[in-house]
Amino acid sequence: MMEVRKGKVESYIQEGLENGKLHFVLLDPDDVDPETAGKIAEMSEEIGVDAIMVGGSTGAEGEVLDNVVRAIKENSDLPVILFPGSHGGISRYADAIFFMSLLNSRNPFFITGAQALGAFQVKRYGIEPIPMAYLIIEPGETVGWVGDAKPIPRHKPKIAAAYALAGQYLGMRLVYLEAGSGAEKPVPREMIGIVKRVIDVPLIVGGGIRTGEQAREIVKAGADIVVTGTAVEKAGSLERARTKLEELNRGIKS
Ligand code: 1GP
């Protein structure tokens, strides 16, 4: 894809989607050191990944977060999009932030509270905010627990669709279905299909996607953007991370 200009990450995503499906790699600063993050980002760019997301539910804050974002920026031209667990997950070195609301949280802090606490910082640093509806699907894993979500049952796709459409009507320009990082199984295909049929904004799906075949199925079901994290982060070596990235990217794009 083309180079991204500052403040243009959302249009980069939109233009990318005109030509096909996108693959975003999530790096959690609590799990990867800056050097490894830089190398994975460099590899990701070579392989054809479209953006790097940085964030996590625990410990992805302050200097630890800044150092990972800087290492990624130094080693690749891919846009870096923050994926914050709260207002602590903001780094001045990032290009954009998924300004997300965990719509099915029971705790207003994760729906509007953290957003209010972080808003001035986003403005001060000139980070591009991209409004996004964030929905936790069973099992939800750490983010479901930390975010005090009432995870949407896997066999209730219409509940997910209703929340997704509400998100769109509230003005959010992306919808993210999240099974939780490291989930045993990704979001069910039927749920992805029903949500996709109902909304008009791009659909992001992540959590538990480990193989190229799973990624292909997720795209076939209707996802526009696929997020992979654990499969790459925990590959065991950089060489294996490259092989895994290639496999996942092929699944998404072919
Ligand atoms: C988590 O959806 C992302 O927020 C990625 O999940 O780590 O399971 O790939 P995985």
Mean pLDDT of 91-102: 98
**Residues 6 or more apart in contact with residue 12 via CB below 8 angstroms:** 1, 2, 4, 51, 79
- 68: pLDDT confidence band, cut at 50, 70 and 90? very high
Which atom number of ligand 1 is nearest to the Cα of residue 206? 2
- Among 23, 31, 143, 228, which residue has the most ligand 1 atoms within 8 Å of its CB, making it the best to mutate? 228
Q: Percent of the chain at pLDDT above 90? A: 94
Task: For residue 185, tell me if it sits in a domain.
Answer: yes
- Among 82, 227, 247, which residue has the most ligand 1 atoms within 8 Å of its CB, making it the best to mutate? 227
Q: Establish whether residue 214 lines the binding site of ligand 1, counting it when its CB lies within 6 angstroms of any ligand atom.
A: no
Mean pLDDT of 176-193: 98
Asked if 79 contacts 53 with a C-beta cutoff of 8 angstroms, the reply is no
- Judged against a pLDDT cut of 80, whether residue 197 lies above it is answered with yes
Report the domain count for the chain: 1
Q: Establish whether residue 20 lines the binding site of ligand 1, counting it when its CB lies within 6 angstroms of any ligand atom.
A: no
- 59: pLDDT confidence band, cut at 50, 70 and 90? confident
Task: For residue 2, tell me if it sits in a domain.
Answer: no
How do residues 17-45 score in pLDDT, each as one tens digit? 999 999 999 999 999 999 999 999 999 99
Mean pLDDT of 49-53: 98
Mean pLDDT of 82-111: 97
Q: Establish whether residue 245 lines the binding site of ligand 1, counting it when its CB lies within 6 angstroms of any ligand atom.
A: no
User: What per-residue confidence (pLDDT) applies to 57?
Assistant: 85
Which atom number of ligand 1 is nearest to the Cα of residue 178? 2
Which atom number of ligand 1 is nearest to the Cα of residue 232? 9
Q: Which domain holds residue 248?
A: 9-253
CATH number at residue 169: 3.20.20.390
